[in-house]
Amino acid sequence: MSLLKIGIAGLGNVGEEVAYQLIKGFRVQKNLFKFELVAVSAKSKKKKRKVDVSGIRFFDDPLEMASSQDVDVIVELIGGDEGIAKKLCFSALQNNKSLITANKALIAKYGKELAELAEKNNLFFSFEASVAGGIPILKLIREGLIVNDITKLTGILNGTANYILSEMEEAEKGFEEVLTDAQNKGYAEANPAFDIDGIDAAHKTIILSALAYGKMPSLENLSIQGIRDITLNDIKYCNELGFKIKLLGNSSISKNINGVEELFCSVKPWLIGKNYGLSNVSGVINAVQIESSLAGSVMITGAGAGGEPTASAVLADIVDFANGTKLFSFGRKAYDIKNNFQTMPYKEKFKFYLRLNVVDKSGILADLTTVFKDYNISIESVIQKSNKKDKTAELVIITHKASNTVLDDALRSIIKLDGVITKPVCLNIYS
Amino acid sequence: MSLLKIGIAGLGNVGEEVAYQLIKGFRVQKNLFKFELVAVSAKSKKKKRKVDVSGIRFFDDPLEMASSQDVDVIVELIGGDEGIAKKLCFSALQNNKSLITANKALIAKYGKELAELAEKNNLFFSFEASVAGGIPILKLIREGLIVNDITKLTGILNGTANYILSEMEEAEKGFEEVLTDAQNKGYAEANPAFDIDGIDAAHKTIILSALAYGKMPSLENLSIQGIRDITLNDIKYCNELGFKIKLLGNSSISKNINGVEELFCSVKPWLIGKNYGLSNVSGVINAVQIESSLAGSVMITGAGAGGEPTASAVLADIVDFANGTKLFSFGRKAYDIKNNFQTMPYKEKFKFYLRLNVVDKSGILADLTTVFKDYNISIESVIQKSNKKDKTAELVIITHKASNTVLDDALRSIIKLDGVITKPVCLNIYS
């Protein structure tokens, strides 16, 4: 049992907790493995922290730590897909240090390259904490379901967005108000764009797709829609109709008639029927549902963020490394991962929820239904709520099944109609 | 990459599927590891199976297979805690063969001894398929949450029992009728006792406790109550009151005031509020909820039985072995597992659901409430439904929080009351 020497770069929420646990010690460490925190790097050396790291070698420059003789594994907890985090990760592997990171943006972008480098140099490289915090979802796919062909992944992958949607319903408040509350409570960042515009969930969806199918779409190629346009009224209408609105990261793979594998991948808000497990996942909780060839449907829920849950995942990687676990980071040789894999528009047909704000005048519904008729989209139900004061009306339309592309075309015509005030909100209904 | 030679003992549902997958091959096998099915043993050599094993060396006696030079790992899929399965497993490890098994009864009883033997001989020994079929729950606890102290486990661990309870509600049928249906559909065995009397769930609860706490209670020391006494009326009353009835395997650990660890462990039907995730787990699905120190609450659901899901778990063990994963079967050294660990009666107080069938005469409710008063148990609500025809009444009582021991004492007095017809049904309410 040789001693594993650990260097942590970044002592924020997660880094601080990882350092604390390593110094304090935990059950498994005492019995089975030996590791020691030998180096840290952070912006401030003196900042008051949960754990005293003054006895640990401090590097102002994390890159220096990555080339230090005395370190076996770099734990990168700085974040960001470029800049210092990227330099550090590549530098660590180039300097024959193993690498553990929680950096989803970096893995989504450079995961394959990093895995290739790790494999070439025979190093341990893992990133359990990059997706869904304390939920060991990567290990689940990579090892627990390893003999399964995975065909579909659906995840509530961003706790902030899920909290906002849950809280809007719970507290009957609008999006902006709940967002401000969430920021005050520390559930949302000062700049919440990554969370509420779906970017963070997209990074995680890309990583999950890599693990599940060996295919990594690029962020630019992903259809991404956030939750900014969802109103309290949307949530109320959906509730009445038996649905919850959830921001889902979604990816699935199937073969077309020529036997070519096609990847479907998106991040957007969906309506989910209340009988689906995912509809009951509320607040900051994350969940991932996996469809697999032998084990069938497996769903796991848990804390998707926060210092302690994320540290749990980072530390599990450290124990795996200390245990000598031979790891293909993405469950297969890096060579077999297809980078920048092209995603396809959904072929499957869905029902849709549309909410339109229109001028309350005669003929508008006739104009709308004519457009639907032109595009061969049948309507299942309509709710119209008039606002006498400003002579507008809110129209909610549930369609029968139609393809996303046809619906997008119809929407382009609808926007041009006289009397349609704002861009309609259009959400797929999960089935 | 050396070739791993596998022998399967038992070609039932699961064994057949494992053999099929090994012969057919799956993604990971082609790329990364080499294993080959070299031997099988089953009752009948000639039986028509999903996969042709006529080219594979056949052993009439699995014990002979366990001592064959040509086999690296024995996959035991015979079942049963004694007899041939036990002999085979010990014999395999004694003969320096690694061991993979799905045998929950055996692991619950002899898991520690087998782990000691495997450790002594430096062999791989795993049993992922023994709990919750296709759900990789043991890996989740043993590796994914390895740095966490686990304090509580709650599981829907028997698909048959869960199916019966769900179906009683869904189809509005009584226990016996649904059981017969389940037997016809293959969801319940001809002798359903292990499933509906909670024994199977108890085996799994014991294994989970070993993984989570390193403490294995004996089956005899476990409080076990099955679902035979649950009537359709119970389910209807609970539904009205906002609950579902679920057979739960439950275990938790905490330190008493002297710092001594106390284990609480039971299998019985509980009332669960509909806002709990576990209440939504219906049909043959299994679920396990884990309370952990860092990752918090993690819940996983999936297929708990069936050939394909269980084979998925067996094969994941095989891949782990082929991958050279160094495994402490119970997540710690076998020496550290406490066998026959004493369980304690629950100290926590719960609300209770009681259903009594009584003679419909004046004074009976007064007699009952007097008993409750004597034992200092307050009543939250009472439903009384009289049956004019046979002059009986059904009484449903929800108590305020009380301890299980006090309630048991009260029940003993209640049974003796004049006019109480049958032994009351008494269920804890989950909180």
Give which of A100, A137, A146, A330 to mutate to test B binding, by max B Cβ within 10 Å.
A146
Asked if residue A239 lies in contact with residue A222, where contact means CB atoms within 8 angstroms, the answer is no
What pLDDT, on a 0 to 100 scale, did the predictor assign at position A345?
87
Name residue A414's amino acid. I
Tokens of B426: 């008494």
Residue A251: CB atoms within 10 A of its CB come to: 26
SS3 call for A249? strand
| Local structure of residue B335 (DSSP, 8 states) | G
Q: Is the dihedral of CA A14, A16, A20, A22 positive or negative?
A: positive
Which pLDDT tens digits describe chain A residue by residue (431 residues)?
A: 578 999 999 999 999 999 999 999 887 766 678 899 999 999 998 899 999 999 999 999 999 999 999 999 999 999 999 999 999 999 999 999 999 999 999 999 999 999 999 999 999 999 999 999 999 999 999 999 999 999 999 999 999 999 999 999 999 999 999 999 989 988 888 889 999 999 999 999 999 999 999 999 999 999 999 999 999 999 999 999 999 999 999 999 999 999 999 999 999 999 999 888 899 999 999 999 999 999 999 999 999 989 999 999 999 999 999 988 888 999 999 999 999 999 998 888 999 999 999 998 888 889 999 999 999 999 999 998 888 888 999 999 999 999 999 999 999 999 999 999 988 999 999 98
What residues are paired with B4 via a beta bridge? Answer: B35
Asked if residue A211 lies in contact with residue A142, where contact means CB atoms within 8 angstroms, the answer is yes
Asked if residue B269 lies in contact with residue A272, where contact means CB atoms within 8 angstroms, the answer is no
Q: Which of A28, A148, A332 sits opposite B146 (nearest CB)?
A: A28
Strands B296-303 and B285-292: antiparallel
Residue B411: CB atoms within 10 A of its CB come to: 18
Contacts for B57-62 with beta carbons within 8 Å, 24 or more apart? B59/B7, B59/B9, B62/B9, B62/B10, B62/B88
Asked if residue B162 lies in contact with residue B286, where contact means CB atoms within 8 angstroms, the answer is yes
- Chain B residue with the nearest C-alpha to that of A313: B144
Q: Which of A148, A309, A319 sits opposite B146 (nearest CB)?
A: A319
Stated length of chain A = 431
Give which of B20, B24, B147, B274 to mutate to test A binding, by max A Cβ within 10 Å.
B147
First-to-final CA distance of chain A: 51
Q: CA-CA distance, A368 to A379, in Å (whole number)?
A: 11
For chain B, the maximum distance between any two Cα atoms, rounded to a whole number of angstroms, is: 81
Stated length of chain B = 431
C-beta atoms of B140 and A145 within 8 A: no
C-beta atoms of A139 and B143 within 8 A: yes
Quick one: which H or E segment has residue A254?
A: strand A243-255
What pLDDT, on a 0 to 100 scale, did the predictor assign at position A356?
93
What pLDDT, on a 0 to 100 scale, did the predictor assign at position A186?
81
Name residue B241's amino acid. L
| Local structure of residue A215 (DSSP, 8 states) | B
Q: CA-CA distance, B358 to B336, in Å (whole number)?
A: 51
C-beta atoms of B143 and A333 within 8 A: no
Q: Which of B139, B204, B215, B268 is catalytic?
A: B204
Q: Which of B295, B301, B326 sits opposite A303 (nearest CB)?
A: B295
C-beta atoms of A294 and B301 within 8 A: no
DSSP code string of B227-296: STT--HHHHHHHHHTTEEEEEEEEEEEEE-TTS-EEEEEEEEEEEEETTSGGGG--TTEEEEEEEETTTE
Q: Residue A17: which of A393, A343, A315 has the closest Cα?
A: A315
Asked if residue A156 lies in contact with residue A285, where contact means CB atoms within 8 angstroms, the answer is yes
Q: CA-CA distance, B99 to B69, in Å (whole number)?
A: 15
Which pLDDT tens digits describe chain B residue by residue (431 residues)?
A: 578 999 999 999 999 999 999 999 887 766 678 899 999 999 998 899 999 999 999 999 999 999 999 999 999 999 999 999 999 999 999 999 999 999 999 999 999 999 999 999 999 999 999 999 999 999 999 999 999 999 999 999 999 999 999 999 999 999 999 999 989 988 888 889 999 999 999 999 999 999 999 999 999 999 999 999 999 999 999 999 999 999 999 999 999 999 999 999 999 999 999 888 899 999 999 999 999 999 999 999 999 989 999 999 999 999 999 988 888 999 999 999 999 999 998 888 999 999 999 998 888 889 999 999 999 999 999 998 888 888 999 999 999 999 999 999 999 999 999 999 988 999 999 98
Asked if residue A284 lies in contact with residue A241, where contact means CB atoms within 8 angstroms, the answer is no
Strands B351-359 and B425-429: antiparallel
Tokens of A310: 């994320």
SS3 call for A181? helix
Helices and strands of chain A, counted as H and E runs: 14, 16
C-beta atoms of A298 and B295 within 8 A: no
- Chain B residue with the nearest C-alpha to that of A134: B295
ipTM at complex level? 0.95
Contacts for A220-224 with beta carbons within 8 Å, 24 or more apart? A221/A340, A221/A342, A221/A343, A222/A265, A222/A266, A222/A267, A222/A343, A223/A265, A223/A266, A223/A267, A223/A268, A223/A343, A223/A345, A224/A197, A224/A198, A224/A199, A224/A266, A224/A267, A224/A268
- Chain A residue with the nearest C-alpha to that of B302: A298
pLDDT tens digit string along A332-374?
999 999 999 999 988 889 999 999 999 988 888 899 999 999 9
What pLDDT, on a 0 to 100 scale, did the predictor assign at position A347?
86
Residue positions of A annotated with a catalytic role: 204
Q: Which of A299, A309, A336 sits opposite B295 (nearest CB)?
A: A309
Which residues in A256-406 belong to E strands, given as ranges?
Answer: 261-273, 285-292, 296-303, 351-359, 379-387, 392-399
Q: Which residues of B touch A144 (CB under 8 A)?
A: 128, 136, 139-140, 316
* Alpha-carbon distance B294 to nearest alpha carbon in chain A (angstroms): 5
Q: Is the dihedral of CA B220, B223, B226, B229 positive or negative?
A: positive
Q: Which of B21, B299, B325 sits opposite A325 (nearest CB)?
A: B325
Asked if residue A414 lies in contact with residue A371, where contact means CB atoms within 8 angstroms, the answer is yes
Residue B388: CB atoms within 10 A of its CB come to: 8
Give which of B290, B312, B321 to mutate to test A binding, by max A Cβ within 10 Å.
B312
* Alpha-carbon distance A137 to nearest alpha carbon in chain B (angstroms): 9
